Structure 1
Amino acid sequence: MQLTTLQERLEQSGSPTRMLSTPCPPLRAFPYPLVHTNLQDEQRAWKTTAVLFDQSYHMADLYITGPDTTRLLSETAVNSFATFGTDKAKQYLAVNEDGYVIGDGVLFGLSDDEVVITGSEIAPNWLRYQAEIRGYDVSFHFDDRSGEGPVPKRYYRYELEGPNAWKILEKAHGGKLDHIKFFAMGEFTIGDLKVRALNHTMGGVPGDDATGLELFGPAAEGPEFLAAILEAGEEFGLLRGGAAAYLSATIESGWTPLPIPAIFGDGMKPYRQWLSAFTTENWLPITGSFRSENIEDYYTTPWDIGYGHMVKFDHDFIGREALEEMAKRPKRRKVWLNWDSDDAARVIGSSFVDGDNRAKALDIPTTMITWDRVMAGERLVGLATMHGHTVNVGGWASIARVNVDDAVDGAEVEIVWGDPDGGVGNPFVASHQQTRIRATISTKPPAS
């Protein structure tokens, strides 16, 4: 039987957790080099000079136009759209009726009647489905990840990050540029090119003094833009960043990619019947030391990933009533866990030996999308979902969601590292033994 929908795949698996626990290969590779120079210098550059990341290919883009565009966004997102419009941006966040996260993406106001949401396919899928079943008067243009769909990309997209970013832009522009507020957009020229920019950051602490800019323009102008930025950045120590450094930046910024979408309840069956069997929603893996038969144990609230401040009750939206209750007393919040250096060295060193003492191998510099228990003694206090290392942190750290009452700076916890079955039956994970890694909680990014 050839499966065509996510619902059919779910029925074949028997349960959401069994479906998502099926062994699968690592995340899809990025369509550009792992490194351009070396990982450490590329990581260091976003703190000391500047780094340029290519974002042109690995994300999906959904363009939305039509008279109901803002209404569609407002009625499906926790965010307020009271002041949204041309040259405004926001981190769009959609939840289900119970207040659990479905997906997110960066939303750009390109004009009064056109927006684009950029990121994974999950939020665009939800928007297209809602428009179809609710009859919103909108039109869509979808650019898939490069190489994964027949539609060519409309825009090139680069991230320029670091303390010298603005100096590089002004040199490329040939003069002073007006400051762009955090998560606002601006436009300027580089030679004959018109370039648009969003002020945000990947490797730093968000705010108006953030040192990151997302730069984009027509795809055909990408090579000319790249050459101009690299030439302008030479005297300021600009480095190109590869996929390894790009992914590791999230350890410092705290962005949590690809939470399991809360779409597996009975009320979501029509949506699963609408989704393809081969969509992103069905390959987000459940791995790590935490295992539960209840899929809701893997669901995410806005507060779990640091998005609680985005929730605004100035409009009606899917999940509002549930979030009004959650907001009274969030159960968990986002924190960082700073690893004990001796335990990190022990885990890495064990990869070079055979036998019962080998710990689960660490993907360097970043192990993404895991579900690992965070313990205070024998008490479960949270889950760690991403682990990584950067030279700016100076060690290993995890992004985690822990109980609000346990989210205390300096508190000592342990991460249970390794799968319960030691990787048996999973060809993509070497056999190993579970171990514990000591860590301390921090409510601020480790390199801030």
Structure 2
Amino acid sequence: MTELSTPLHTTHVAAGAVMTDFAGWQMPLRFTGDRAEHEAVRTRAGLFDLSHMAQIEVHGPQAAQALDAALISAVSRLTPGRARYTMLVTADGGILDDLIVYRLTEDEFLVIANAANRDTVLDQLTVRSAAHQVGIVDRTTTRALIALQGPRAAAVLSSLTDADLTELRYYASMSVEVAGIPVLLARTGYTGEDGFELSASAVSAVDLWQSLLDAGQDAGVIACGLASRDSLRLEAGMPLYGNELTSQITPYDVGMNRLVHLDREFVGQEALAARADQPARHHLVALQGAGRRAARAGYPVYLSGQQIGEVTSGILSPTLGYPIALTRLDRQLPAETDVTVDVRGTPTPMTVTSTPFYRRPQ
């Protein structure tokens, strides 16, 4: 398969980024160091290239009905300018992808999906909307997606736009100009910090990226890679497709019951309705430990000597200073329950806690 590059690839290489293959794309893993980039986002702001994420336009007089039939949430209930986190599931209720849907106008939507699931989401939206008057266009390679995340993000961005960012709520979007470049600006993110995601034409990506870096220089804004994005999202307790979410897992198995709107027909509705009042087969459980030994994905979790599941994501938290992990267990456990994780052959105690592990200061 041909490896893809974002419009910012040359810029990243020139900046000395360590590049890696991710879902068929050449992406920056890090620019300076994982911890430095993580701390920049927590204390100042960081700039991320997310142009590998799928950007799929859904438009037409029945666009809302088509998406309602395809997704587990009723996006037709969104007002223009608002967004919703939702999922695409199989007929059996297994998660094919988690995504964000932005309602731009009455009959125009933007779907942001995971890079690895781009073809699946595009194909399924096309098939599931066949009975509706709708157009579906993959804009991924003609658009760029850049995220500015951190406590200083709003101040930096305000210097480049006339838009009143105080009016832009969480999970809302607006069409504005940033540094003279037309963008779809959304107050969304994957870091647990206040921040923004900017969708712009691919040909404007380099200018937009550089303008944001230049405007944020005095504020300490730096370019960040995928490694810090992963540690930030885990501290925020946000699931990752392929780790916490898979086609073998339903929304109920990860505590996402609130996303499932059963009062309408959609692919997977019957299966999820049948399971709505049944015990979940799996449980997404958060753990925290002591010391410096991180529990990594795949490590088994034990309770009283019996294996009850495994770690799906785990790190030594840069912000908190102790190990944290998300796990898939066969039972729900009360907070403060002590379990053991096999960390490379060493039984390591951890304790059930709640997410998010880290919550930004208000």
Structure 2-normalised TM-score?
0.81
1:241 aligns with 224
Aligned length: 335
Mapped pair 1:47 → 2:39? no
Distance in structure 2 (CA, Å) of the matches to 1:121 and 1:138: 24
Long gaps (5+) in structure 1: 1-24, 145-152, 205-209, 263-298, 345-361, 419-433
- Of stretches 237-246 and 128-137 in structure 1, the one that deviates more from structure 2 is 128-137
Mapped pair 1:338 → 2:288? yes
Asked whether the equivalents of residues 43 and 390 of structure 1 are also in contact (C-alpha less than 8 Å), the reply is no
**In the superposition, relative to structure 1, how do residues 121 and 42 fare at CA in structure 2: closer, same or farther (>3 Å)?**
closer
1:303 aligns with 252
**Matches for 1:12-91 after TM superposition, within 5 Å:** 28=23, 31-56=26-51, 58-91=52-85
Mapped pair 1:396 → 2:297? no
1:412 to 338, 346, 351: 338
Amino acid at match of 1:218: S
**Matches for 1:47-446 after TM superposition, within 5 Å:** 47-56=42-51, 58-118=52-112, 119-122=114-117, 125-126=120-121, 128-129=123-124, 131-132=126-127, 134-143=130-139, 153-173=141-161, 176-204=164-192, 211-259=194-242, 261-262=246-247, 299-331=248-280, 332-341=282-291, 343-344=293-294, 370-403=297-330, 405-406=332-333, 408-417=334-343, 434-446=345-357
Distance in structure 1 (CA, Å) of the matches to 2:62 and 2:162: 40
**In the superposition, relative to structure 1, how do residues 382 and 309 fare at CA in structure 2: closer, same or farther (>3 Å)?**
farther
Cα deviations by residue, 1:116-164 (Å, 9 ceiling, x for unpaired): 32223536525534643754433332256xxxxxxxx222211111111
Asked whether the equivalents of residues 68 and 74 of structure 2 are also in contact (C-alpha less than 8 Å), the reply is yes
Long gaps (5+) in structure 2: 1-19
Give 1:201 deviation, angstroms.
Answer: 3.1
Distance in structure 2 (CA, Å) of the matches to 1:42 and 1:130: 36
Asked whether the equivalents of residues 292 and 316 of structure 2 are also in contact (C-alpha less than 8 Å), the reply is no
**In the superposition, relative to structure 1, how do residues 174 and 117 fare at CA in structure 2: closer, same or farther (>3 Å)?**
closer
Distance in structure 2 (CA, Å) of the matches to 1:121 and 1:221: 24
Give 1:62 deviation, angstroms.
Answer: 2.5
**In the superposition, relative to structure 1, how do residues 261 and 382 fare at CA in structure 2: closer, same or farther (>3 Å)?**
closer
**In the superposition, relative to structure 1, how do residues 126 and 177 fare at CA in structure 2: closer, same or farther (>3 Å)?**
closer
Report 1 or 2 for greater relative contact order, CA contacts < 8 Å, sequence distance ≥ 6. Answer: 1
Asked whether the equivalents of residues 168 and 232 of structure 1 are also in contact (C-alpha less than 8 Å), the reply is yes
Asked whether the equivalents of residues 303 and 334 of structure 1 are also in contact (C-alpha less than 8 Å), the reply is no
User: SS of 1:67's equivalent?
Assistant: coil
Distance in structure 2 (CA, Å) of the matches to 1:211 and 1:62: 25
Distance in structure 1 (CA, Å) of the matches to 2:67 and 2:310: 30
Structure possessing the higher radius of gyration over alpha carbons: 1
Distance in structure 1 (CA, Å) of the matches to 2:63 and 2:119: 13
Give 1:245 deviation, angstroms.
Answer: 1.0
Distance in structure 1 (CA, Å) of the matches to 2:102 and 2:163: 26
Cα deviations by residue, 1:164-191 (Å, 9 ceiling, x for unpaired): 1111111222675333222111233224
Amino acid at match of 2:147: E
Distance in structure 2 (CA, Å) of the matches to 1:100 and 1:30: 26
**In the superposition, relative to structure 1, how do residues 342 and 393 fare at CA in structure 2: closer, same or farther (>3 Å)?**
closer
Task: Please report the RMSD computed on the Cα atoms of aligned residues, expressed in angstroms.
Answer: 2.8
Structure 1-normalised TM-score?
0.67
Percentage identity across paired residues of the two chains: 22
